[in-house]
Amino acid sequence: MTSSPPDGPAEPSQQAPSANGSNDRFDFTAAVPGADSLGSVHFIAIGGAGMSGVARVMLARGLAVSGSDAKDSLVLRALAAEGAEVHIGHDAAHLGAADTVVISSAVREDNVELRAARARGLRVLHRSQALASVMRGNRRVAVAGTNGKTTTTSMLTVALQHCGVDPSFAVGGELAKHGTNAHLGTGDIFVAEADESDGSFLVYRPDVAIVTSVQPDHLDFYGTFESVQAAYARFAATVQPGGLLVTCADDPGSRTLAHLARAAGTRVITYGLAGDADVRLTAPGGAGFHGHGDLVRAGVGLGHLQIGMPGRHNLLNATASFVAATEGLGQDPGRVLEGLAGFTGTRRRFEPKGEVAGVRVVDDYAHNPGKVAAVVETARGLAAPGRLIVVFQPHLYSRTRDFAAELATALSPADIVFVMDVYAAREDPMPGVSGALIADRLADADRPRAGESAQFVPFWSDVAPLVAQVARAGDLVLTVGAGDVTMIGPEILRLLGERRGPGDVAQGQE
């Protein structure tokens, strides 16, 4: 069976590592068909964040949409309410009269519905190709990068909405303010999060592209960091003539990409804290769950940036959104800044879950070293003078194997770390690979904080009781990972509520 993980697109791709990151199941350089030619569309594993977003846009366009997933979910029920024919479980009969079948790289070739579709000679599209088909005819914006692309896509979308242009969008997470991950707008702009994990970000041919960072990740598909870099270079080359590439000057990989793209004749604007960034973020700061800074270009102030999210990385994401909206899409800088100030976040991106007995709980989707380092650094600042307790669930056996040391380093600023076992997603177990690889490195490391501890907790049900046992008033608990670790925060709050005394106050408990 094929089901979707709780959040985000399914990973990893079912491809053997390649020398250049090519995908042998799909040609992402080929032209995509127009949405009006797709006929009736069936999604295999329709409940995933990426798949459900494309399905929503197609439904809004009036296409007949059906889909299947291994388990029922709120997403499936919402899609059914929007007009999709939804099936639980996989069966060839679920294809019905479908003309086109949409899959992600995580759907294996032996899936019973995919086998039937191929036997019937139906058109089979990758999720990104299906999304590109509904983007045709719009000014296309693609947001890519190892870290920050969901938040940046969401920020840009909200800023454009504030400018009154009603963009279409498809995001790998749910916008808190809108309660959805996709929307068919009335304007001519379509903003999409572009996934690099399987090479599919090459399909969009954007008018405006953002690359937040280029770092080693998805080595199960690419094999080497050099192949990752080459794939981003190919992505930059897909920016349409007269278009704009926005890159982060603070990230070495993104900086290198900017040089390559400029040499190839692409218009590039860099952003960041770096002194040579085209648009500089200066005087960054913040308090609590808010951040601020000033934007400057060539010595001229562009305005004061404010966001309702903590962390320098989120200020940089907002800066990228500002540059794309103003320089790439011609929107008024003041209106864009007002829109960014009103951004209320994306689900599972440093999302507060509640506070009980003086213990705050925050949840985040971070799953690679760069993301984890950024979110732990942010949480460390918010926890002071209390302790930071991190619950980390590694995502994918291959990523745990490849980056155990880097993940341990990213987690090291925390006072207490509980490392869960690996959330497999679409991978089969690998001998000798578990969360213990990370916990053992943390335990052996010369960590910077006194009184720290690290523990591998192999059983999911043991985690919340252990956290509730050690947490005390003033602590911040951060649950981190792309799997079902998101369900642990509410359980921690419940257990804390059971033990609290008459003087304790519960706030925002779920």
- Which residues are marked as active site? 149-150, 193
CA 328 to chain centre: 22
Dig out the tokens for 264 from the structure: 């190839």
Q: What's the one-letter identity of residue 80? A: A
Q: What's the one-letter identity of residue 383? A: A
Cβ atoms of 378 and 310 within 8 Å: the answer is yes
CA 340 to CA 137: how far, in whole Å?
A: 27
H or E element at residue 363: strand 359-364
* H helical segments located in 309-396: 312-323, 333-341, 369-383
Angular region, 330: left φ>0, alpha ψ -120 to 50, beta rest: left
Dig out the tokens for 279 from the structure: 């648009």
CB-CB neighbours of 117 under 10 Å: 22
* H helical segments located in 363-487: 369-383, 397-411, 436-444, 460-470
Burial class (CB in 10 A: 0-12, 13-18, 19+), 19: exposed
| Burial readout 270-306 (b: 16 or more C-beta within 10 A, e: otherwise) | bbbbeeebbbbbeebebeebebbbebbbeeeebbebb
H or E element at residue 457: strand 453-457
Dig out the tokens for 27 from the structure: 């040609």
Cβ atoms of 428 and 396 within 8 Å: the answer is no
Task: Reduce the DSSP state of residue 265 to 3 states and report it.
Answer: coil
CA 397 to CA 400: how far, in whole Å?
A: 5
